[in-house]
Amino acid sequence: MRPVEFDENELMLMAIFAEKTKQETIDTLKDTLELLEEPTENVPDEEMIEIVSTLIEKLQQIEDKYFYALEFDDYMQEMEDYDDVD
């Protein structure tokens, strides 16, 4: 099995939706994906749907210990810094 690598967008989404366990995070992302795919008056965000789908697939491939080793603090700080600019 080749190593799973996450891009910046995937890491940012994981930081936003991270739960206590890998499976809980996957479940939350699946719920989010369902909401994104619901037909609405707005045009669906195909790029976001693709990112979330790919992220779910990647999370399902990694071992729990790898998930728990991920550091989201930098991404959360980056989001806070971005919010402070607005």
Which token pair is 75?
Answer: 């991404």
Distance CA 60, CA 22 (A): 8
pTM of the model: 0.81
Distance CA 18, CA 12 (A): 10
Q: Residue 77: what are its φ and ψ, rounded to 5°?
A: -65, -40
pLDDT of residue 54: 97
**Who wins on pLDDT, 85 or 66?**
66
Q: Is the pLDDT of residue 57 over 80?
A: yes
The predicted model gives 25-29 an average pLDDT of: 98
pLDDT band at 5 (very low <50, low <70, confident <90, very high): very high
